[in-house]
Chain A
Amino acid sequence: MCSRDCALRTLLHSAHGDVVLSLYQPATLPLLGFAVSSLLGLAEHEKAKQIKISALKCLQVLVLQCDCQEHRCLDADEAQRCGDLFASFLPGISITLSRVITGDLKQGHKPTVSAIRLFYLIVGLVMADAQLARVPKNKEKLPVEQSRISELMVHRGPDWSKSTAEKLLLLLRKIVESSSVHPHWKVRLELVELVQHLLQNCSRSLVDSFSHLLKALVGLVNDENPEVQRRCQEVLQGMAEQGMVAQNRALADVLSENLHSLATALPRLINTQDDTGKVSTLSLLLGYLKLLGPKINFVLNSTSHLQRLSKALMQVLELDVTDVKIVEERGGGSASPCGPAGSLARRWQRKYFRFFTEEKVFQLLQQVCRVLGYYGNLYLLVDHFTALYSESGMYRKQAAMVLNELLAGAAGMGVDVLREREVSPNVDDLKGSVTSVLDEYTDQANWYLVTSIDAEEISHEHSVQHSKLSARPRGACSSVLLPSPEPPATTRTMNSNIWQICIQLEGIGCFAAVLGREFRLLLLSTLYPVLEKAGDKTLLISETALGTLADICEACGYDSVQSLINENSDYLVNGISLNLRQLVHQPHASQVLDTMLRHSDASLLPLVEDVIQDVLAALDQSYNHQAPTFLRVLHSVMTALVRWFGSSCGEELQAAEGQSRTLSLGPQVVTGQELQQFFLDYVRQKQIAEGDLPDTDEEADEVQPCAKLDPNGPDTEGEAPLPSHAQLAKDTMERCIHLLSDGNLRVRLQALDVLELCVTVLHPHGNHLLPLAHRAWPALVTRLISDDPLAVLRAFKVLCTLAQRCGDFLRQRFSRDVLPALTSSLRSQAPASARAGPIYSHTLAFKLQLAVLQGLGALCQRLDMGESDLNKVADACLIYLSAKQPMKLQEAAQSVFLHLMHMDPDSTWLLLSEICCPDRYRPPHASLQPVQLPGMGRQRDEFTDNILGLLEQLQQWESVEPWAGAHQDPPP
């Protein structure tokens, strides 16, 4: 049988033009019919694959649709005639072929492919728009002798074509359904060809079937096989380029109908399908939109379409806001300053959606929105989604997301389309839309949301709400967001609020990219709110805001965030200064200043000096109520000043310190002469101590330091004006002095912190620091000796910092006012800590002891304390050398003694040796008395270990300084 097929094929193949055409006359219809039906029978029922294929091929040749190129083309008339002829076979052929196509998968892909090809060729021939248009109204009469044959002939009139199209619709649906999911890619590829061929040739006659055909085509864009994908893309591209949709009203209607039903079903589909299903559904949606192209506006102009589509997007884009981590992650105010802008340029935060996890799904949705924005009427869309945004809190986040993407799409950013739009919107239109959306975003009701349950902040937020509600009749909108005046700030709502702010921030970054340099004009109103959020305590928000800043830098052509801030500092300063006036309602002004300071350098100072003066003035107006807020601002200002100018003070200080160290540690070669001098001095000192010398000397000694201090006091004050940063520190310090004795512990602690920073900044300007220190001293002493342990701790830190510079100034006061209290507290605490268990190291008392012990040594050295004071210190610290004390306290006490050894090695040695002395000292000469120390020959006790360690240390130094070694025999 196979051979017979082949023979027929070869015969027809080789028959040339006119000869072949003579075969296709109405008269031969019965013959042809027989051939066709027998071939169809073979194709359907034959088991052998080869024969099946062969039969189909033969049939293809028979209907003059051979694949090879040798045949000449039929002219229109001939084609028309053939079409008439084959119309009689169409029902039989199409039904049989559809059975073959949807048949058992086991038959392999080749017969299916051939059947599909044959199907579209024959349908395309018979139902071709070009031919149907030429069919005369009435059936032409054939000669009588052929009347029987003419009964077999079909007249392709409108009625016929309509009914045939209906029947074909059913067949096509079956074919598309089965072959679009066919496992073999060649079948799917052939399906693409089918769609292409039919759309090309039968766009009028088969219009009802297009819904299925287009669905298949658009769906196959994301086929797993690249070949199919590519071809599909080509076909779509071709369609778009020819303007098939734009010119063919019917096609556009079909598409918009499909879109409508898909949009209706979308939420349900996304809810139920798995990830791949979602991807294919969404790519279908995207494909429809792309195909519609500029025709989208017809769809959007219909309210019901727009409603469906937007609601579908709203539901699909719903975020998952249950993650607790978001609220918990807090950056805190002390985040390190960010590096150059480069490190900031990261991408947007990853969002978690309720209905999907796949990133691809989100990208598709993004594309959907962008394509909408690209082709659609921007004003219409922006209005619609802005209305959704303000309509309900439920849709707010999604609507914001959509708005961001719409505008990005409108600017042509990252849109992948089939066809360029005719007119791109001009900058003014874009700017208008962006401005209105920005206004909506940064509106108080949408910008200041509860994002934490920090008691302090909440109270502020409430006051914001109240003021807002009473200030404007826009309550309707805000009440949706935060339904009751006391909103239940659950983790969920806070998360949701955090996300909303982030999306809005991302939007601002996106708008900047949309407008490019034009965005500079909008910085006036935008930069301030963004910086406000950059200083937010919630990590997610502050990071997103930093990302937005980076985006703005890039879009507006600034090199770095720093230059962005510096060049627009006038806008920011204005915002800060105005908001400072209403601090109760606008507690965020301090955050903005903080962010500015953190992300800029010293060059910013002249620009913000003005506003810092405003802060100080505002503080003067409201010491009672707003002190904590102001102190936070001042703290950030001072931290910035220390960062910018601190290094210079620090270097100076270190240099000075280094000098003193070399002085004290430098190797001293001691000669006999010096030894003699030492004893002479010693004798003289002793005489002085016993009061042998005239009083005048003593006075001279005392007067001298005063005389030294005085001349550089008033003199220098008159000459060089303070650099501005020091002036600021000075002004701030004056305020802090007042606040040191505030009733609120928190304020006192803050004030102490700020004070310490001020002192650091003022280090190089001793003439100004000393008078201030003098004024601060009484309050500081009160903090040190009778306040909450927390305050004592901080105050002690301030004291240590102060001592670095004003040693002489503090010596007297310290030993008179503070030292007794410190040593007595150390002594009284010692038994408690010696007894305490391991938990003790977490108590405040322990921390206080530790801090005092750690600082005391250095403090004594800095202040250059007198002998009696040193003795007091040593006495108080000695108990802490006991092995019963916690290890850390022992170490700290050791450090005190190490400092004491630096200052007065001899007496320290003596003191330690009185407790415990490991060596026996033999006099170098028999005429001298043997040395007896109380510590000699004692039993090993709690102090032994530490003291031996210290003595060893001392001895090591002495080997460098042989001076002290003169007392002592070399060890045996």
Chain B
Amino acid sequence: MRLRGGVATATAERPRASARRVRGGRHSPRGARARETVIPCHGRQRAAYGGCRAGDRRCSGYAEFVPARAASRGGKTPPVGRMLEGEVASVSGVIARMALPPPDPQFVLRGTSAAVHTLHFSCGGQEPDVPILFSGSENGFIHVWNLKTHRVDAALDGHGRKSVYCVQTMGGKEALLSQGRDQRICMWDLAEGRTSVTDSVFTENVGFCRCSLLKVAQGRWLMAMAAKATDEVQVLELPSKTSVCTLKPEVGAKLGMPMCLKLWQLSCGSQPLLLAGYEDGSVVLWNLSTGKALSQLVCHQEPVMSLDFDSEKAKGISGSSEKVLSIWSLNEQQNLQVYKTHKLVNAGISDITIRPDKKILATAGWDHRMRIFGWKKLKPLAVLDYHTATVHCVSFSDHKNPSERLLAAGSKDQRISIWSIYTQT
């Protein structure tokens, strides 16, 4: 593994080690912490800072967060799941302020025995089909969760025990695509209980950029992924694995590595486009047919950790390791413009997902919490507090029946929390 900045380690842990562990007995020595950074979840962020400036920003964010939590342990009743300070006014039904107990997950899935890095629902099937949740975890396993029994139906091992950080389905739940730290993207055949890898792509990329998948026709898919060269993105056609194009920034652009990708098209059959968030905090819109950048927008001072885009409203949102969510829009001239920014209390967003119905969005935070916002005005709706470590991913289910749709979050604390936020609103 090429961890360019073993760099920030020492400084990075400064505030955290002292402040976080106020009371607990398990005081892990600093050495152990530093070693821990090799594991992908931290490594991902760390590698991202690696080459660039201000490597310890994430931790300063942490330090600011800590006192609040530590104080709550100290004695006063901790308002668990409380609203963001200053954002309280607009609560609607999800959490009435103090009278109601804080919202709980509907269920918690345990048993991955490693940090969870990615989640993907597959609930679209007809009645006899059981809704499924795929989870990819740090120990290289992909767990297939049966959402009826809440138990693992199968555990797939295809990435040589290296962290799996992206799982997607291609069509039904029988065809699965997974990306792991072994630099491979695997295609799985899960029909009739099979658990075999049918094909795989060697990415040669050492980053943590999740690939993006777009269905362009029946049985034809486009997949964008970070390529071997540090700043390149490659687009392949699946299942043939033929290269469509390679997107290379202009010489001297210094975008850094791609951090997150989103392939989209306005309507079926129209020209597919790619949005990519880069290490230097900018979001770039690429034209796949010309291989040229259409527009570039600097949204953040820090690497873009995650982005999602709503093609109907031509609006997107991105989060980084800072305390800011950035919302940007795409005008008719295919230019990206900053639309709005939203300030957060605690820094660090590891994942952002807009719900398929485009009404709300969820963020996964380094402060162990998920936040729910209204997508239209970015109105804060709820803070979901359950996890005891960084939340790595959030995902909405695609169930046909709206009342059975779910939100899932996977965290470093090895648990997956399932929330039912449709029925409660």
Contact = CB atoms under 8 A, between A and B. Distances in A.
Interface of A: 467, 470-471, 521, 524, 570-571, 573-574, 577-578, 581-582, 584-585, 610, 617, 620-625, 730-731, 734
Contact of A570 (B24, B77, B111, B388): B111
Nearest to B152: A570
Given A570-B110, A581-B80, A617-B388, 20 more contacts: A467-B101, A470-B99, A470-B100, A471-B100, A521-B148, A521-B149, A524-B150, A570-B111, A570-B151, A578-B108, A581-B104, A581-B386, A582-B102, A582-B104, A584-B101, A585-B101, A610-B110, A621-B72, A621-B80, A622-B77
Nearest to A577: B108
A584 B80 CA distance: 13
Chain A to chain B: the 6 pairs with minimum beta-carbon distance, closest first = A582-B101, A734-B25, A578-B104, A574-B108, A621-B78, A585-B101
Given A570-B150, A573-B110, A622-B77, A581 B102 contact: yes
Contacts of B75: 623-624
Contacts of B104: 578, 581-582
Contact of B110 (A467, A574, A731): A574
Contacts of B148: 521
Contacts of B78: 621-622
The contact size tier of chain B is: 20 to 34
18 contacts: A467-B101, A470-B100, A471-B100, A521-B148, A524-B149, A524-B150, A574-B107, A578-B105, A581-B102, A581-B104, A582-B101, A582-B102, A584-B101, A617-B388, A621-B73, A622-B78, A623-B75, A624-B75
Interface of B: 23-25, 72-73, 75, 77-78, 80, 99-102, 104-105, 107-108, 110-111, 148-151, 386, 388
Nearest to B417: A578
Contacts of A621: 72-73, 78, 80
Contacts of B77: 622, 625
Q: Chain A: interface secondary structure?
A: helix
B103 to A, nearest CB: 10
Contacts, number: 50
Contacts of A584: 101
Contacts of B151: 570
Contacts of B25: 730-731, 734
A490 B77 CA distance: 34
A582 B99 CA distance: 13
Contacts of B149: 521, 524
B155 to A, nearest CB: 15
A624 B102 CA distance: 19
A106 to B, nearest CB: 75
A768 to B, nearest CB: 11
Contacts of A617: 388
Contacts of A623: 75
A620 B24 contact: yes
Contacts of A620: 23-24, 73
A625 B78 CA distance: 12
Nearest to B105: A578
Contacts of B111: 570
Contacts of B110: 570, 573-574, 610
Nearest to B414: A610
Nearest to A581: B104
Contacts of B72: 621
Contacts of B23: 620
A734 B26 CA distance: 11
Contacts of A470: 99-100
A581 B110 CA distance: 17
Contacts of A581: 80, 101-102, 104, 386
Contacts of B386: 581
A584 B99 CA distance: 12
Contacts of B105: 578
Contacts of A577: 108
B56 to A, nearest CB: 28
A222 B25 CA distance: 74
A577 B150 CA distance: 15
Nearest to B26: A731
Nearest to A578: B104
A571 B80 CA distance: 23
A591 B48 CA distance: 47
Contacts of A585: 101
B29 to A, nearest CB: 12
Nearest to A579: B104
A264 to B, nearest CB: 44
B346 to A, nearest CB: 18
